[in-house]
Structure 1
Amino acid sequence: MSGESAAQQSAGDNAAMARIVLRPVASPMALGFLALGGATTVLSGLQLEWFAPAETDAVALALALFGFPLQLLASIFGFLARDAAAATGMGVLAVSWLTTGIIKFLYPPGTTSAAVGALLLFAGAALVIPALAASFGKVVPALVLFTAAVRFLLSGFYQVTTDPSVRWASGIVGVVLLALAWYAALALALEDVRGRTVLPVLRRGMGSTSMRGPTAQQLVGIGNEAGVREQL
């Protein structure tokens, strides 16, 4: 037997012996969207002047201590659950809230920064990527991420231009984001508890298959997924 044939047979034997173990985890999406809703609520309150400027430190702590850890947790378990689009979106949101909270805590109320604006503009643009990816499977979560992207883009634009109308626009989009995030959290939580769609999530493609398709159909191609294939 030639060396090449022996290598091929060895690879075939190894493939026959390989076992891929999947560990069930609870979906972190409802938690992530509730954290997003809470964070955008307090920030919109500050932008729309529901809160006095003296409340800036409290808002900053809420972003860093409520929004950041819960969305980071959602991001980690999103990757473990093999939903890279949702996990990426939650991760970008998590560190964006942490950065915003720390900056607002350290600087005087009302301070703007072109550097912070550039970062928020990038965060908004970055959120478009997981939003687009999510749109192929779950339209409602994708819509939440798209709205979050618009919210961060407007916040970044305000930091660069200091135009009060842009700040108000960002705050209003933040309120819309709160409503969408709350609905998405409710719909996904009910879906997980009942094992079926109760409120529309607008699943399609693999998103629909993941809820209604047989296990064998969902495992097609799993050998080529990150963590199983040899390289990312």
Structure 2
Amino acid sequence: MSPAARTYDTAGGPPRPEALTRIMLRPLASSLPLGFFAFGTGSVLLSATQLHWVPLDQTRPLMLLVLVFVVPLQLLAGIFAFLARDGGAATALSVLGCTWAGTALVTLSGPPGQRSPAMAVFLLSVAPLMLVLCVAALRGKPLFGVLLLIGAGRFVLTGVYDAGGGAVLLAAAGWTGVALASFALYGGLALLLEDGAQRTVLPLGRRGRARTSLQGDLGHQLDQAEREAGVRRQL
């Protein structure tokens, strides 16, 4: 697709670059529901260990489930978000996928239930990044932003516990994970219903371009497409 009525310049010279350029848009299904559901499942699995819902010797099987179920789905959602031209969601989903992978591998490498100062440094480093992603998401997708905000809070609680904090912090992190899973379940359902009906069914709080992307016409979708990464010459 190219801007209309700009085939030749005013002097009648050769065609402008816009007239010789076609931007091909590949329709893709939204990967956000998959990202929400994977995040919620991982939260439940981690809460099961933090709240001692399962015996301590079941920590390793739970972390293996995180590696084979949560991590691939989270990263897959991130990849397709990049392909769908949503850089913010793609970055957040990819960061979450790698965070789950790091958490699972570090937990598997040590005795079950043992504190990990290395994990504390990692989680407390990721938490500010999550807050930055949250601020960016709140402008258009508040629901996703709140999910990231709750996730950052959980990272802080778990990180402070691993750094030597009291056991109450671990319990707080576990229950925060339960709330996070419930929130992710709602978000995934709302996004699935929206995708199927092509309209908002359950409140999502879309704003700005996130709102017009669903309610606008084709012109809204192509607005400033020539300035997006993958189209412009440099990132």
TM-score by length of 2: 0.91
Work out whether 1:200 is the aligned partner of 2:203.
yes
Q: String of CA shifts for 1:59-90, please: whole Å, max 9, x gaps.
A: 11111111100000000001111111111111
| 8 A contact 1:74–1:90 mirrored in 2 | yes
Instruction: Name which of 209, 220, 228 aligns with 2:231.
Output: 228
1:151 is aligned to 154
The separation in 2 between residues aligned to 1:132 and 1:221, in whole angstroms, is 23
Q: 1:52 aligns with which of 55, 58, 70?
A: 55
Tell me by how many angstroms 1:97 deviates. Answer: 0.7
Structure 1 residues 12, 185: CA separation in 2 closer, same or farther (over 3 Å shift)?
same
Instruction: Provide the rounded CA distance (Å) in 1 between the counterparts of 2:183 and 2:226.
Output: 35
Answer with 182-191 or 16-25: which moved more: 16-25
The structure-2 alpha-carbon separation of the partners of 1:210 and 1:98, relative to structure 1 and needing over 3 Å to count, comes to: same
Question: Once structures 1 and 2 are overlaid, which stretch shifts more, 186-195 or 53-62?
Answer: 53-62
Q: 2:18 maps to which residue?
A: 15
1:39 counterpart letter in structure 2: G
Residue 40 of structure 1 corresponds to which residue in structure 2? 43
2:90 maps to which of 87, 91, 103: 87
TM-score by length of 1: 0.92
Higher helix share: 1
Alpha carbons of structure 1 residues 167 and 11: separation in structure 2 relative to 1, 3 Å = farther
Counterpart residue number, 1:65: 68
**Aligned in 2, Cα 1:12/1:163: closer, same or farther, shift over 3 Å?**
farther
Equivalent of residue 76 in structure 1, options 69, 79, 86? 79
Render the CA deviation track for 1:192-226: whole Å, top value 9, x for unaligned: 01111110011111111011011102321111111
CA displacement at 1:171 relative to structure 2: 0.6
1:87 aligned partner, one-letter code: A
In the aligned structure 2, how far is the partner of 1:13 from the partner of 1:138? 37
In the alignment of these two chains, the number of paired residues is 224
* Cα offset, 1:162, TM superposition: 4.0
SS state at 1:70 partner: helix
Partner in structure 2 of residue 188 of structure 1: 191
- Name the structure 2 match of 1:114: 117
Structure 2: unaligned runs, 5 residues or longer? 1-11
- Which deviates more, 188-197 or 139-148? 139-148
Which 10-residue stretch deviates more, 69-78 or 12-21?
Answer: 12-21
Q: SS in structure 1 opposite 2:195?
A: helix
Alpha carbons 1:127, 1:145 under 8 Å: kept: yes
The Cα of 1:12 is off from its aligned counterpart by: 6.6
Aligned pair partner of 1:130 in 133, 136, 159: 133
Which of 107, 124, 140 pairs up with 2:143? Answer: 140
